[in-house]
């Protein structure tokens, strides 16, 4: 019943209801979003003053691609998918964002629309900053601009990497690269990665079909590079995987 909440698209009420929570938003969350040197008290206050929180259930839409973007949107916790919702049912995932991270830092600055649809995958807490309020804040906190530029720059680098992989790497290389990237952020050590989403969603992000993903996993298993047990993958030979992933 809560997997698709129609009220999710009406932010006002819940945002107001949650406004009190903003003060409770820890400095660590802001720090994770804003990167750079430790945020000062003044900066944290300025941020908290203009932040709005939204809690959405799995399946809810965060924004849609034709929608005018007026806010910077971040995911505090949970996972949100960026992709395309088609009249033909299933949501076509292109990228998943797990908090804390920016979901759409770009669109609002150019007064355009979000170019992608965003859909909650795991019950998530979102943070929104009205871009006009941010503009005012930047006038008083010029150092904040630098943080935002750095965050968007990371975004650019990430996207550049994705396009490069799509242009030059085949399915096996992309999978190997994806596993290695996951292993770097893995909590269970560098050689065990937990697949945090359905395999079909992983496949969608790698721009292959679930069938091909299954076959590629078997390939890597046969080559002795990985060991698979359900949604846990052990990387047996990081060096060989890196060689394979390199273009």
Partner DNA sequence: CGAACCCTTGATACGCTTCAACAAGAGTGG
Partner DNA sequence: CCACTCTTGTTGAAGCGTATCAAGGGTTCG
Binding site for a second copy (CB under 8 A): 84, 92, 94, 105-110, 112, 115-116, 135, 138-139, 142, 145-146, 148-150, 152-157, 159-164, 166-168, 207
**Helices 41-50 and 27-34, packing angle to 10 deg:** 90
User: Considering only residues 68, 211, 242, 246, which one is a binding residue for DNA as defined by CB under 7 A?
Assistant: 211
Beta carbon nearer to a second copy, 19 or 115: 115
Can residue 198 be called a binding residue for DNA (CB under 7 A)?
yes
Query: Measured from the CB of residue 43, what is the shortest distance to DNA in angstroms?
Result: 41
**Coil, strand, or helix at residue 217?**
helix
Can residue 242 be called a binding residue for DNA (CB under 7 A)?
no
Could you tell which of a second copy, DNA, none binds residue 243, using a CB distance below 5 to 8 A set by kind? none
Residue 126 parent element (H or E): strand 117-130
Can residue 199 be called a binding residue for DNA (CB under 7 A)?
yes
Beta carbon nearer to a second copy, 9 or 156: 156
Q: Per CB under 7 A, which region of 126-134, 135-143, 180-188, 201-209 contacts DNA?
A: 201-209
Report the C-alpha dihedral over residues 228, 233, 235, 236, rounded to 10 degrees: -30
Query: Which long-range contacts link 196-204 to residues 24+ away (Cβ below 8 Å)?
Result: 196/79, 196/98, 197/79, 197/96, 197/121, 201/81, 201/93, 201/96, 201/121, 202/178, 204/83, 204/92, 204/93, 204/94
Query: Measured from the CB of residue 223, what is the shortest distance to a second copy in angstroms?
Result: 25
Task: Say how many residues make up the chain.
Answer: 247
Beta carbons within 8 Å of 243's beta carbon, 6+ residues apart: none
**Coil, strand, or helix at residue 38?**
coil
User: Considering only residues 35, 200, 223, 234, which one is a binding residue for DNA as defined by CB under 7 A?
Assistant: 200
Beta carbon nearer to a second copy, 120 or 204: 204
Q: Per CB under 7 A, which region of 73-81, 92-100, 134-142, 197-205 contacts DNA?
A: 197-205
Q: Which two tokens stand for residue 28?
A: 């660590």
Could you tell which of a second copy, DNA, none binds residue 164, using a CB distance below 5 to 8 A set by kind? a second copy
For 194, phi and psi rounded to 5 degrees? -100, 125
* Site of interaction with DNA (CB under 7 A): 170-172, 198-200, 207-215, 217-218, 228
């Amino acid at each position: 019943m809560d997997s698709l909440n129609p009220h999710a698209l009406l932010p006002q009420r819940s945002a107001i209801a949650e406004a009190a929570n903003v003060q409770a938003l820890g400095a660590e969350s802001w720090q994770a979003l804003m990167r750079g040197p430790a945020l000062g008290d003044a900066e944290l206050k300025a941020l908290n003053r203009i932040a709005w929180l939204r809690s959405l259930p799995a399946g809810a839409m965060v924004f849609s691609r034709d929608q005018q973007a007026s806010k910077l949107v971040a995911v505090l916790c949970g996972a949100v998918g960026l992709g395309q919702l088609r009249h033909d049912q299933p949501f076509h995932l292109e990228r998943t964002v797990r908090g804390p991270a920016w979901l759409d830092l770009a669109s609002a600055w150019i007064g355009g629309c979000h170019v992608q649809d965003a859909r909650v995958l795991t019950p998530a807490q979102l943070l929104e900053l009205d871009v006009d309020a941010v503009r005012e804040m930047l006038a008083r906190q010029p150092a904040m601009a630098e943080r935002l530029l750095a965050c968007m720059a990371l975004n650019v680098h990430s996207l550049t990497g994705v396009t490069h992989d799509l242009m030059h790497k085949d399915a096996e290389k992309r999978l190997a690269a994806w596993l290695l990237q996951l292993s770097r952020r893995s909590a269970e050590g560098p050689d065990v990665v937990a697949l945090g989403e359905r395999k079909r969603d992983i496949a969608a992000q790698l721009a292959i079909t679930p069938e091909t993903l299954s076959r590629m996993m078997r390939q890597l298993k046969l080559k002795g590079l990985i060991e698979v047990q359900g949604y846990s993958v052990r990387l047996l030979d990081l060096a060989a995987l890196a060689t394979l992933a390199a273009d």
